[in-house]
Amino acid sequence: MSQARDGRGEPDWLPFARQVPSPNCDERPAGESVRLVVIHAISLPPDEFGGPEIIQLFTNCLDFAAHPYFREIRGLRVSAHFLIRRDGELIQFVACSQRAWHAGVSIWMGREGCNDFSIGIELEGCDRLPFEAAQYLTLNHLLAELRRRYLIEAVVGHSDIAPGRKTDPGPCFDWHRVHDATG
């Protein structure tokens, strides 16, 4: 898996990330390139951290009977390219050259379907609590690598591409701690 390369000759799977392949992905449209990074926040169950549930959701292994909230998301098939845990651990679920299912109904700069041309990064977090310093360090390292590989035009929040539908990464996310991904 780590030997596979994208169309630019770069490894599809980053060697400094733990690799947990998700089936919730597909091919990007022909000729489509990565131009956008979308920052998300996720916690499962809501406002709880550290458990295996996010990984289980992204790999279709979540026990929907384990928590009342999980019944609300039964049948959901989602993924992101990356997850950054509270301690800064980086997990990759989808190859960078593939389309992860993270943005849903979305629009950026007049263009719908942001999954087609974006990389999705989930941070383990919620709207009510600040993110950890280790998460910002990992995020900035990851953004630097993505900037090296792709012509990233912007780094945005899920709320920026799905306003009114999504709030993440939320009011506790400190955008001032994110290095400019457009160089």
Residues involved in catalysis: 122
Q: Which of 83, 65, 86, 84 is nearest to 74 (CA)?
A: 65
Q: Which DSSP letter does residue 101 get?
A: S
CA-CA distance, 142 to 165, in Å (whole number)? 27
b (16+ CB within 10 A) / e for 19-57: eeebebbeebeeeeebbbbbbbbbbbeeeebeeebbbeb
Give every strand in the sheet of 154-157, ordered side by side. Answer: 18-19, 90-92, 82-84, 118-124, 36-42, 154-157
**Two tokens, residue 120:** 């999705």
The 3-state DSSP class for residue 172 equals coil
